[in-house]
Amino acid sequence: MRVVLQRVSEASVTIEGEKVSAINKGLLVLLGIEDADSTEDIEWLTGKITKLRIFGDEEGVMNLSIQDVSGDVIVVSQFTLHAATKKGNRPSYIKAAKPDVAIPLYESFINSMETVLGKKIQTGRFGADMKVTLVNDGPVTILIDSKNRE
């Protein structure tokens, strides 16, 4: 699994003109799932994201996690995070999981985040054409790949 985490002061997802989710202070999580991903990736990634100290403390030092600041989270499926761009000019998405594999893992990831954070996670809609807006706070943007743990 690959994620792009963006620390935001606000973010929202709109589908077909309807705002389906919105948060204030927190994280926008763009989640890419590949065929090789499993519940082990979900557990590791959930732990990493929820404990990652990327929010400022009282002195402005990035020393607090999403849990520490009681921030909100939006998770948006993003298969293009697994784009292979080595050859040619058209990205290949061969490693990106098909919906029959990706949807259950996406839902499990959201459930895992809700369990750890003890709150509802906002989402986009898997496979939909979404308009994602955000105000990146910092800016702080972090890339994490569960296959690069060491």
Active site residues: 78-80
Q: 100, 124, 107: which is closest to 35 by C-alpha?
A: 100
| DSSP, res 40 | H
Q: What are phi and psi of 78, to 5 degrees?
A: -150, 80
Number of residues written out for the chain: 150
Rounded CA separation 122/73 (Å): 6
Indicate if the alpha-carbon torsion angle 93, 50, 123, 69 is positive or negative. negative
